[in-house]
Amino acid sequence: MSVSSPAERDELNQLLQQTGRNDQKAFAELYKRTSSKLFGVCLRMLRDRGEAEEVLQETYTTVWRRAGSFDASRASAVTWLVTLSRNKAIDRLRQHREELLDDPSRLDETVDEQPTPAAGAETSQEYQRLQHCLDELEPQQQSSVREAFFTGATYNELATRCKVPLGTMKSWIRRSLMQLRTCLDQ
């Protein structure tokens, strides 16, 4: 699913709005065109196919019920959908938090992973802008923000993973967020 073209974005917005009016065909089409992206997000965060499938299912059943509240002036359909799937994935991670903390091997595999644009996939203008602003952060802070975003980890978990005090991690992330906002809102 490439969402870099404005036409594609409008089509998805429209499909989501139609879904909000209980249009089952639009909903099926929306699923067909967005589920691979959302499943990629769920898998990346949960690292377990079965769990990712369950979260994907929860996400789309919620989409069907809540699509009526989608406001295209506030967010694009893709942002709305990705946000929903991330929220569900994070909720799931919080439920399993103790198990994850008890399993160091599972934490190790996520540390210091530098995500790169998916092979052959075109990144959006928005991503390029964000990347530019991320590049202005200190390397360690940039990697903490990425780690947080892609793994849905709490401050505590991040501090443990990066072997820094909790206060240090909080100030890295908070400073980064404020710096990102200044850079992006210019």
Partner 1 sequence: MNTPIEDGNNNLRYAEYVLGVLDADTRAEVAHEVLVSGEAATAVALWQRRLMPLTDTIGEVTPAPYVWARIHDALQLDAPARVAPRKGLWDNLQLWHWLGIGASAVAVALLVVVSLPRPTTTPTVVNAGYMASTIQQDNGSTGWTATMDLQHARMVVVPATPVAFEQGRAPELWLIPAGGKPISVGMIARDKPTTLALDPALLAQLGPTAALAVSVEPIGGSPTGQPTGAVIAKGAIGAAPDAGGKVAMIGDRQTDRNRV
Q: Which is nearer to partner 1, 108 or 181 (CB)?
A: 181
Minimum CB separation from partner 1 for residue 51, in Å? Answer: 9
CB of 2 to partner 1, least distance (A): 10
The smaller minimum CB distance to partner 1, of residues 7 and 73, is found at 73
What is the closest distance, in whole angstroms, from the C-beta atom of residue 89 to partner 1 in the complex? 9
In whole angstroms, how close is the CB of 26 to partner 1 at the nearest point?
Answer: 10
| Site residues, partner 1 (CB under 8 A) | 1, 24-25, 27-28, 31-32, 35-37, 39-41, 43-44, 48-50, 53-54, 56-57, 60-61, 64, 74-75, 78-79, 82-83, 86-87, 90-91, 94-95, 97, 99, 115-119, 121, 123-124, 126-127, 129-130, 145-146, 148-150, 152-156, 158, 173-174, 177-178, 180-181, 184-185
- Residue with Cβ nearer partner 1 (99 or 136): 99
What is 89-136 written as a DSSP string? HHHHHHHTHHHHHT-HHHHHTTTT----PPTTPPPPHHHHHHHHHHHT
Exposure of 49 by Cβ count < 10 A (0-12 exposed, 13-18 middle, 19+ buried)?
exposed
Nearer to partner 1, 7 or 74 (CB): 74
Residue 45: alpha-carbon gap to chain centroid:
8
Q: 3-class DSSP state for residue 167? A: helix
* Residue 156 · residue 150 · CB < 8 Å: no
Q: Is 47 within 8 Å of 106 (Cβ atoms)?
A: yes
Question: Closer CB to partner 1, residue 16 or residue 37?
Answer: 37
Question: Which amino acid belongs to residue 104?
Answer: P
61 to 19, 27, 37, 85, 88: CA distances (angstroms): 11, 10, 16, 11, 12
- State the minimum distance, in angstroms, from the CB of residue 17 to partner 1: 17
Min. distance of Cβ 108 from partner 1 in angstroms?
19
Structure tokens belonging to residue 69: 């509240």
